[in-house]
Structure 1
Amino acid sequence: MANFVTIERGLGPGGRVAVVRFDRGDRINALSDDATRELTRAAQCFEDDAETSVVILTGGKSFSAGADMKAGGARSSTSTDVAALRRQFRKGPRLTRAWYEMDQVTIAAIEGFCIGSGLALAVALDFRIMARDAHIRIPEIALGMNMSWQTIPRMLQLIGPARTKQAVILANQSISAEEAYQWGLVEQLTEPGETFNAAMELAEKVAAQPSIPVAMTKQTINRLAGALDDLASHMDLDQLTLTCLTEDHKEGVAAFRDKRKPQFKGR
């Protein structure tokens, strides 16, 4: 069985800080099905943890390259079984929802790159700290699919409609760390290799506060900011299922694997 995620508790003031490390031991750190399940369980394991008030999520050399395209799976499948695709695609929203709904304050430490569903995970957290030489990219549309995992509503909360359209529609356009900071997509920049230390410094400040009102405040803000998000969650899943059945999606994936420019036909 894969073991891509490790958890360390009892850090910081009063032992109230925990660190979740997602590291596949390579530079890619892709979100395979196994990694997605492990990260979901990692978030869920804090549900009854009254001792931890802050959780830092960090990657290896890079935060994450997003979906594991080399592993195949439903996204690159030629299957027309809509029910099977919808079941497969629930794994991603389940992951981001688990992190979004945690009582603990969550902090992403982003090194290297944060791509596609890696960004979906990052924006489900409360704070993002990014290295100055890192970048963000959202390639989903270039692959003939929509951006899902409830990412768009969360990006709207952070950077507004125009910037969200720019980031998602202009697929494959890299967003530098400086741009991400100016847009409000990340809250802090650091020198390369220093994101974890900065995340720990922020975590210690949060952990020094009384945990009950901190958790209440987080949940109140999330509920108010995302009051309409659940209404669109089924649409998010169905759009992903629909776009993954198109010829353009098959062409996008084929072009990615062949390292060529895709030729989309709008069907």
Structure 2
Amino acid sequence: MTNGDSIVSSGSPSYGMIKTETQGRVAVITLNRPKALNALCSELFHEINDALARFDGDEGIGAVVLTGSERAFAAGADIKEMKDTEFIDNYKNNFLGHWVEQIGQMRKPIIAAVNGYALGGGCELAMMCDIIYAGEKAVFGQPEINLGTIPGAGGTQRLTRAVGKSKAMEMILTGTVNLNASEAQAYGLVSAVFPPEKLVEETIKTAAKIASKGAVSVQMAKEAVNQAYELNLSSGLHFERRLFQATFGTKDQKEGMAAFSEKRKPNFVHK
């Protein structure tokens, strides 16, 4: 945690599989199924989605940190929960789809702080976030092929975009080739690597830095970067330009440029 600040409970509601805390304008969500290495299940994702929706609607929060334990961020999905399900039920109920909907709808940035194992759904959950920081002992992998299935929450899509086709194919098709923290950083999957005991503290520092900026511009910037994966270059440049122009209708743009001209720190009001 940063010097001079303390993590405090974010209050109601209470959860059984996650912990939620706040530090200034930063919210911290900690996966809390230690006996199962934070294995992902429907109840856990229900709690994650509920917390994310709450923080996304809280004007006092500017960024979110998602983390697990030093041993495991999330060591995959809970196989006991899904092993006996059938195709027709999974299809009708949009299995996995409803797990990840809220993360995809988040307007505020999410930073994953990954210590230990991030395998299968755990790796996919980390990749749903906007930035990934890793502890030195973090391990990323997609071992679903060993269970007779494939990644179903973005592994074949986000991992390929992050590390390239050849490496993604090797990891997904063998189910045994993983990336350690330094390899993940070299491939561009991870932005920075820290000692395990410093990881959450450093992640909160970055989240606080982001949360100190004008919230509208931060959300626009996140939207523009994400559209780079969806649009061709010409359309992406047009989209970016329109959002850039839109920032000139905000109070924070006026304050930011005035502060720069006056050589002082800006006082953003997030409007």
Q: TM-score range by the shorter chain?
A: 0.7 to 0.9
Following superposition, which runs of at least 4 residues in structure 1 exceed 3 angstroms of deviation? none
Gaps of 5+ in 1: 229-267
Q: Deviations over 1:224-248 (max 9, x none)?
A: 31459xxxxxxxxxxxxxxxxxxxx
Among residues 175, 190, 200, which one is paired with 1:196 in the alignment?
Answer: 200
Residue 212 and residue 24 in structure 1: after superposition, are their counterparts in 2 closer, same or farther (change >3 A)? Answer: same
Indicate whether 1:50 and 2:76 are aligned: no
Equivalenced residue count is 218
Question: 1:97, 1:124 within 8 Å by CA — same for their partners in 2?
Answer: no
- What CA distance in whole angstroms lies between the structure 2 residues aligned with 1:49 and 1:226? 28
Match of 2:155 in 1: 151
Equivalent position to 1:65, from 42, 65, 75: 75
Give the aligned partner of residue 30 of structure 2. Answer: 21
In 1, distance between residues paired with 2:185 and 2:36? 23
Amino acid at match of 2:185: Y
Whose RCO is larger (CA < 8 A, sep 6+)?
1
Q: CA deviation at 1:207?
A: 1.5
Structure with greater Cα Rg: 2
Q: Taking structure 1 as reference, are residues 195 and 226 closer, same or farther at Cα in structure 2, changes over 3 Å only?
A: farther
TM-score w.r.t. length of structure 1: 0.75
Secondary structure of 1:149's counterpart equals coil
Read off the aligned partner of 1:144 and give its amino acid letter. G
What secondary structure, in the 3-state scheme, does the structure 1 residue paired with 2:177 have? coil
Structure 1 equivalent of residue 49 of structure 2: 40
Q: Which residue does the alignment assign to 1:242? A: none
Shift, 1:221, TM fit: 1.6
Contact 1:129 / 1:187 at 8 angstroms: preserved in 2?
yes
Give the partner amino acid of 1:166.
Answer: E
Partner Cα separation in structure 1 for residue 96 and residue 47 of structure 2: 12
One-letter amino acid of the structure 2 residue matched with residue 3 of structure 1: G
Q: Distance in 1 between matches of 2:180 and 2:120?
A: 14
Change (3 A) 1:205 1:47: closer
Amino acid at match of 2:90: L
Aligned-CA RMSD value: 2.1
Amino acid corresponding to residue 61 of structure 2 in structure 1: T
Of 80, 84, 87 in structure 2, the residue corresponding to residue 82 of structure 1 is: 87
The one-letter code of the counterpart of 2:17 is F
Aligned equivalent of 2:143: 139
Pick aligned residue for 1:103 from 102, 107, 110: 107
C-alpha contact (below 8 Å) 1:27/1:60 kept by paired residues: no
Q: CA deviation at 1:4?
A: 0.8
Shift of 1:35: 1.1
TM-score, normalised on structure 2? 0.74
SS of 2:61's equivalent in the other structure is coil
**SS state at 2:129 partner:** coil
The answer to whether the aligner puts 1:120 opposite 2:124 as a matched pair is: yes
Measure how far apart 1:85 and its partner are: 2.2
1:18–1:54: 8 Å Cα contact kept in structure 2? yes
CA contact (8 A) 1:134 1:176 kept: yes
Partner of 1:220: 224
